[in-house]
Amino acid sequence: MAACRVPEEEFPVLPKLPARRLAPRLLAVMLAVSALAGCSALPGFMTFPPQVRGNRVDDEMLSQLVPGTSTRADVTALIGSPTARATFDDNTWLYIGEVTKPVIGATNAVLDQKVVVLTFDAQGVLRGIDHKSQQDSVPVSVVARSTPAPGNDTSFLQQLLGNVGKFSPVATDSNSGRQGGRTNPGNF
């Protein structure tokens, strides 16, 4: 059987770079990519788009609500159910919405935040519309205390050796774990 031979001039072989010349180029490309990953001014195709979170109320729809005549049913039909209700007042509805953008470190930067507060009277008629923005927010300080929990503070050695001596030295039957065995008469 004759072998089919292709002339070498039809398929030129690309010159291979030696490993000592390829490594610095690869390192330079990796450094450039990691430098771009740390930049805050990345190109648009490398960043996430802004995300709308919560219930953002459209100002045009909100202008259709008239205090003194609109009811809870009108509000729900027009802009939907509230994000939350006030803790101690069922007549205060909160529509909370914000626009965030993911940034490095899996955190979200808040681009815009808006809260619409609707207050109703006892008969369910809209009495007031209030707008809150990010400038109206109040910083909250977190307390660094911890609540003590009942129990023992065991050391590592106590945890490691805690079960020593708690098991029965009696040999176990190989059929004891099966249903209908001598020690387990058929618990279903």
- Residue 181 pLDDT: 52
pLDDT class for 110, splitting at 50, 70, 90? confident
- Structural domain includes residue 161: no
Please report where in the chains the tokens 């050695």 appear, as a residue. Answer: 157
> For residues 97 and 52, is the Cβ–Cβ distance under 8 A?
yes
Residue 176 has pLDDT above 60, yes or no: no
- Structural domain includes residue 166: no
Half-sphere exposure of 11 (CA within 13 A, CB side): 3
Q: Which residue has the higher pLDDT, 9 or 134?
A: 134
- Structural domain includes residue 154: no
Query: pLDDT tens across 40-75, in order?
Result: 555 556 667 888 888 888 889 999 999 999 999 999
- Structural domain includes residue 1: no
- Structural domain includes residue 149: no
Q: Which residue has the higher pLDDT, 62 or 105?
A: 62
Please state the domain count of the chain.
1
Residue 91 has pLDDT above 60, yes or no: yes
Chain centroid, CA 32 distance in Å? 30
- Structural domain includes residue 56: yes
- Residue 73 pLDDT: 93
- Can you list the positions of beta strands (E) in 16-154? 51-54, 84-85, 92-103, 107-120, 126-133
Question: What are 112's strand-pairing partners?
Answer: 99
- Residue 43 pLDDT: 59
Cα 96 from Cα 130, distance rounded (Å): 12
Report how far apart, in Å, the C-alpha atoms of 107 and of each of 38, 46, 52, 166 are. 14, 16, 15, 48
Query: First and final CA of the chain: distance in angstroms?
Result: 74
- Domain of 52, in residue numbers: 45-134
Half-sphere exposure of 137 (CA within 13 A, CB side): 12
pLDDT class for 129, splitting at 50, 70, 90? very high
Side chain identity at 68, as an amino acid letter? Answer: G
- Residue 51 pLDDT: 85
